[in-house]
Structure 1
């Protein structure tokens, strides 16, 4: 299959227009059209439905476009490796992690990374959905479980636990529970047990709910839980790393916590030698060591 024709097909499918693709490729509309027709003839199929509003991929065209998109992502990864300097860290690094960890732990520390590498551009993607690293949806990921995708380098960074926290003002007003059964007299702030979250946290919440807790506030992410707790609404289920950034929180019922949750850094095998990945990996590991040491000194581990 002719690589040049595939490149032109991909540009047309992406733009949905011969004219726009031609502008991108610096080719005339007629030249682009000839190449697409030649590709269709070589494949003995129709790749586009042509109408007044533009071009729409046929079923066969969709299949080919999926393939060229995968090729483009692989080429981007190869290009990124080639561009990586032997001595400098620069360019774009796409990092994905959960909303809670990214908002409450990672983002507040990124200024240190920028101070060291001012030419690094980070695209931070915070979502619970697991992005496909081999398909280049992101360059690296920090996740609360070991990634299952193939062709990834995985490094366990630390363990975290879900625990119960409240403000001193809330406890002064409503009392401090001494046993899990006392939670029946308090408002529990947590993620909905059925929402997308680490299973260990959901198990802990399900166990607490057996204590006939009548008042509850469900939030779909830990940042929202934290804000509700800080505003004295109740006792919240939060990851233990939160206490370093929110020292005014008081741990409640120390015997109640989830199982340890592993935190992993993962990135594609093809980016093993990327200077940007190495810089980010080293930064995260250093920050975790500092954070864990600080929490241990405060007696929070």
Structure 2
């Protein structure tokens, strides 16, 4: 099978248009069309349905596109490994993590990484869906559970817990809750138990809801919960990694906490020697060590007061 024709087919399938594919490939529409017809003739199959709004893959076209997507991802991985054989750290690193961790902990710290490696390009993908690392949907992941995919190098970074927080202004107006039963006198801010989140967080929310909060605000991510708590709307369920960066929040009812949630960093086995992965991994590990030291110092200072 002609590799060049497959490359052109992949561009057309991805763009859904001969014209757009031609623009990407610096080829005329007629040249792209000829290559697609030649590929269809060689396979004795129709790969696209043509209509006024563009092109739609046939069943046979979908099968071929699945194969070319896999090929493209493998070629990207090979190219990354070749680039990483250079001494200088540069190029794109695609990082995936949850919306909460990426927004509240990782993104604010990336300036330090860019200061050290200014030619590095980070593509930060924040979503609860677990991306397929072996299929190169991302290069490296930070997840709130141990990855189950095969062929991954994984390292446990730390454990976090979901705790209860409120703003000083809220506590000044409503009073400090003394027991779990006091939740019935307060507004609870949390993620809906049906939303994507770690099971430990959902279990804690279920427990709190069993004590009939006076009112509730539910948000589908921790950034929204944090905004509600910071603005004095109520008592929020938040991960403990936010405490250092948001000292205005007060940790309340310290005996109420979720089970430990493990945080793992993972990347494909084939990127074991990637310098970009190595510098990102070391950066995250160093930041976590620093973060935990400051947390302990804060805890000691609060205990003394």
Same fold, judged at TM 0.5 (above): yes
Question: Per-residue CA shift, 1:41-81, capped at 9, x if unaligned?
Answer: 33221112234554332111111112111111111111111
How many equivalent pairs are there? 301
Q: CA deviation at 1:227?
A: 1.1
What's 1:49 paired with? Answer: 49
2:188–2:234: 8 Å Cα contact kept in structure 1?
Answer: yes
2:183–2:214: 8 Å Cα contact kept in structure 1?
Answer: no
C-alpha change, 1:9 and 1:183, in structure 2 (3 Å) is: same
What's 2:220 paired with? Answer: 220
Question: Per-residue CA shift, 1:88-110, capped at 9, x if unaligned?
Answer: 11111111111111111011111
RMSD: 1.8
Q: CA deviation at 1:153?
A: 1.2
Q: CA deviation at 1:232?
A: 1.2
C-alpha change, 1:65 and 1:113, in structure 2 (3 Å) is: same
C-alpha change, 1:164 and 1:6, in structure 2 (3 Å) is: same
Distance (Å, rounded) in 1 between the aligned partners of 2:189 and 2:29? 59
What's 1:236 paired with? Answer: 236
Structure 1 gaps of 5+ residues are none
C-alpha change, 1:193 and 1:35, in structure 2 (3 Å) is: same
Structure 2 gaps of 5+ residues are none
Write the mapping of 1:147-186 to structure 2, written as runs, cut at 5 A. 147-186=147-186
2:16–2:54: 8 Å Cα contact kept in structure 1?
Answer: yes
Are 1:66 and 2:62 an aligned pair? Answer: no
What's 2:96 paired with? Answer: 96
Q: Return 108-117 or 204-213, whichever deviates more.
A: 204-213
Normalization by structure 2: what TM-score? 0.93
Write the mapping of 1:1-301 to structure 2, written as runs, cut at 5 A. 1-299=1-299
Distance (Å, rounded) in 1 between the aligned partners of 2:52 and 2:188? 58
Question: Per-residue CA shift, 1:113-157, capped at 9, x if unaligned?
Answer: 011000011111111111121222211111101111222111110
Distance (Å, rounded) in 1 between the aligned partners of 2:228 and 2:26? 55
Q: Return 61-70 or 106-115, whichever deviates more.
A: 61-70
C-alpha change, 1:181 and 1:74, in structure 2 (3 Å) is: same
Task: Give the secondary-structure state (helix, strand or coil) at the position aligned to 1:60.
Answer: helix
Task: Give the secondary-structure state (helix, strand or coil) at the position aligned to 1:46.
Answer: coil
C-alpha change, 1:270 and 1:175, in structure 2 (3 Å) is: same
Distance (Å, rounded) in 1 between the aligned partners of 2:189 and 2:127? 21
Normalization by structure 1: what TM-score? 0.94
